[in-house]
Amino acid sequence: MPPPVVPHGMILKVMNERNMKGGMGSDTNPLTFMDQDYNLLQDYCLKTRQKFVDEFFPPDVRSIGEGLLTPEVMARVEWIRPTWKGNCWFLASVGALTFQTKLLHKVVPEGQSFRHNYTGLFHFRFWRFGKWYDVVVDDKLPTINRQLIFVKSKTFYEFWPALLEKAYAK
């Protein structure tokens, strides 16, 4: 089957939106996904001294999906917050996303730390239907016997790919 024909006007519209600077949905001003603003949530968690738990993508079966795991396996799932060994996991994982630094910083915004103002809150940006969206997630990851169930790195303390996958799944 041949690929669908995209009208020329639609291509120009997407290109113009992609190139707009600072407008809503641009890479520098992404839309908030599910109205969750990373900065507001981060400030709230810091002020209340609590770790973030995502109410829209909770650490339970609803976020894994029905039928993906058997009930026996699902009963063994434990949602844990990873223990971190600094930011080396992030730097080591940069190559897994892309070799283009500018694009990397569009998808994984800078300034997220596991030591300074750590609240268990992360955000990633995705290009969807001609606009950028900022997606917020907590750091609770599904495990069985303390092993990640889905995406995992060869390095056991590297959680960046799993957090990116969680944001994409959301």
Residue 110 is given by DSSP the state S
Catalytic site includes residue 88? yes
Domain-by-domain residue ranges, the chain? 8-169
Alpha-carbon distance of 75 to 86, in angstroms, equals 31
Q: What pLDDT sits at residue 123?
A: 96
DSSP letters, 104-136, are HHHHS-S---SSTT--SEEEEEEEETTEEEEEE
- Give the lowest-confidence range in 44-48, 90-94, 105-109: 90-94
- Give the lowest-confidence range in 46-60, 90-104, 151-165: 90-104
pLDDT at 3 over 70: no
Both tokens of 111, joined, read 């300034």
Which member of 24, 75, 88, 96 is catalytic? Answer: 88
18-69 residue pLDDT tens:
556 667 888 888 999 999 999 999 999 999 999 999 999 999 989 998 888 9
More confident site: 71 or 6: 71
Can you tell me which residue has the tokens 């209340």?
48
